[in-house]
Amino acid sequence: MSARILIVDDDPICREIVTTALAGKGRAIESVGCGNKAVETLDRHPPHLLILDCALPGRSGIEVLRHVRGNAKLADVPVFLISARQSPGYQAAMLAEGAQDYFTKPLDLPRIRTAVSAVVGIR
């Protein structure tokens, strides 16, 4: 069974970079560009991992994270947040909201690949 990863970012270049970095190894990657579409996709077909930008049109990344954590069907889905905000206080707040990890832009792709492999492995 392949690992399903949902990438949510309003920047199509960032979505493509992350998708390319994580492609292969039995992973099925889907990406969307806004919070509302993310919630629709999550509710329809929960992924094994959600990679979520904090600043999104429609529902914000934090609103999507709260939706995930408040939904019994989604509550166990690991969430990695990505953001341009590098404040340690903001990062701590997002981890307290239920994110498993937090990555700042520009993205450290080797670190993301390692974290993704640790969470979903090769399914």
pLDDT digits (tens, 9 = 90+) for 65-85: 999 999 999 999 999 999 998
Where does the pLDDT of residue 115 fall: very low under 50, low under 70, confident under 90, or very high at 90 and above? very high
Within 8 A by CB and 6+ apart from 38, the residues are: 6, 8, 32, 50, 52, 56, 59, 64
Tracing tokens 């307290």 back to the chain, one arrives at 96
Sequence letter at residue 103: F
Which domain does 115 fall in, by range?
3-120
Taking CA atoms, 14 is separated from 20, 53, 76, in Å, by: 10, 10, 25
CATH number at residue 110: 3.40.50.2300
pLDDT digits (tens, 9 = 90+) for 44-72: 999 999 999 999 999 999 999 999 999 99
Q: How many domains does the chain have?
A: 1
pTM: 0.94
Q: How many residues does the chain have?
A: 123
Q: Provide the terminal-to-terminal Cα distance of the chain, rounded to the nearest Å.
A: 5
